[in-house]
Amino acid sequence: MGTASTEPEPRQPVMADVARVAGVSHQTVSRVLNGAPHVRPDTRERVLAAIRELDYRPNSAARALVTRRSQTLGVVSFGSALYGPASMLDGIEQAARSAGYFVSVASLRSLDSRSVQEAVDRLRDQGVEGIVVIAPQISAVSAVAKLSSAVPVVAVGSGSQSRVPVVAVDNEAGALAATRHLLDLGHETVHHVAGPAGWLETKTRQDGWRKALEAVGAEVPQVQSGDWSARSGYEAGLRIAEDREVTAVFCANDHMALGLLRALHEAGRSIPGDISVVGFDDIPESAYFAPPLTTVRQDFGELGRRALELLVEELAGVGHARSHVLVSPEMVLRRSAGPAARR
């Protein structure tokens, strides 16, 4: 029979080991790890080389006890596979990592007041320094407004009515630009496939579409409602295809535009010859639709960066001068929208 090994497990290197290999003091290693100034470049390089040689990993729990900072931010996320909320979360996580913060995520199925407060409390128990709440639904605005938190909170996508600092895409401006683009191509009016009720993007994008039509005295057609899915866009497209007067459609997101394109193709309507189509989001697949989709691009990386900046300002106590930040979207022109056909 074999015998159990009595060799001790290898000891994890500690800061004193780094100091010994680098030939510096314990305090110098600490200053390098904390990014302190006034460390000579050659000394800093020796310390970093020793860290790499030993594969040293700082004890974040111990550092937090000393500095009273966890370098961790919390994110309350709407647990959805939808492109918008998922991309917002990715943008925030990337921006946080770039700024030297860890991220702890609490993903919720619903954004009611109780669920959001419980998620914030759980994150606070983990010692986060600040919290970002991704709040794309109208119910989330009320939930964020009722939050009780001893740490700074920033909302992403919750609109200008939120009581906490907010970073959001200017959805109304994006929808207005999309609708104006179609009107400028000579279309007498623009039909709209909207998102589901209860979403801020649904309301603000519909508001922008309506304002663009009213500004030029164009007819405001009845809204076709969807649920962000390609299936709902397809169903709306079947209804739209029956109306030979329709020449232009603005869809509130690209997935619904994809379904709409499929329905119009099946109905024998050419795009953009018979009907021009514009979407919103610029999902990665939009450039490969048939035809490639003209759409409104949201920069989710910029959204995450701005949210993190605002949260860091709140942590420093200087964030009140910029409590609401709107990130401008941009039109991406492709081949799904063209001049109105002469009648």
| CATH number of the structural domain spanning residue 280 | 3.40.50.2300
Pair (219, 153) in one structural domain:
no
Per the listing, tokens 């290898």 go with 10
Cis amide bond preceding 165, omega within 30:
no
Same domain as 101, residue 79: yes
Q: Are residues 244 and 180 in the same domain?
A: yes
Kindly report the pTM of this predicted structure.
0.77
Q: Which domain holds residue 96?
A: 71-169+300-329
Residues 164 and 304 in one domain: yes
Residue 272: is the preceding peptide bond cis (ω within 30°)? yes
Number of H helices and E strands in the chain, helices first, is 12, 12
Tell me the pLDDT tens digit for each residue of 108-167: 877 777 888 888 888 888 888 888 988 787 777 777 777 777 788 888 876 655 678 889
Q: Are residues 175 and 271 in the same domain?
A: yes
User: Does residue 104 share a domain with residue 49?
Assistant: no
Evaluate whether residue 337 is within a structural domain: no
Residue 8 lies inside a defined structural domain of this protein: no
Average pLDDT, stretch 241-267? 97
Asked if the structure places residue 116 within a domain, the reply is: yes
What pLDDT, on the 0 to 100 scale, is given for residue 70? 65
Q: What three-state secondary structure class fits 188?
A: coil
Quick: pLDDT tens for 43-65.
Answer: 989 988 988 888 876 655 455 44
Cα separation of 19 and 34, whole Å?
Answer: 15
CA distance 134 to 79: 10
The neighbour count for residue 3, using CB atoms within 10 Å, is 5
Mean pLDDT across the chain: 86
User: Are residues 256 and 158 part of one domain?
Assistant: no
Last residue of a domain, one of 298, 317, 338: 298
Q: How confident is the model at residue 80 (pLDDT cuts 50, 70, 90)?
A: low
Same domain, 213 and 122: no
Flag whether 206 is in a domain. yes
Residue 2 in domain: no
pLDDT exceeding 70 applies to what percent of the chain? Answer: 88
Same domain, 50 and 107: no
Number of domains in the chain: 3
Residue 5 covered by a domain: no
Q: What is the pLDDT of residue 309?
A: 82
Type of residue found at 11 = R
- CATH number for the domain spanning 45: value is 1.10.260.40
Question: Mean of the pLDDT values across residues 270-299?
Answer: 96
pLDDT band per the 50, 70, 90 thresholds, residue 308: confident
287 and 188 in one domain?
yes
In terms of domains, do 271 and 314 share one? no
Please indicate, yes or no, if residue 267 is contained in any of the structural domains: yes
Please say whether the beta carbons of 237 and 260 come within 8 A.
yes
Considering the domain architecture, whether residues 165 and 186 belong to the same structural domain is answered as no
| pLDDT class of 9 with cuts at 50, 70, 90 | low
Q: What is the pLDDT of residue 162?
A: 62
Task: Work out the angle at residue 32's Cα, subtended by the Cα atoms of residues 29 and 35, and round it to the nearest 5 degrees.
Answer: 150
Instruction: Identify whether 125 is part of a domain.
Output: yes
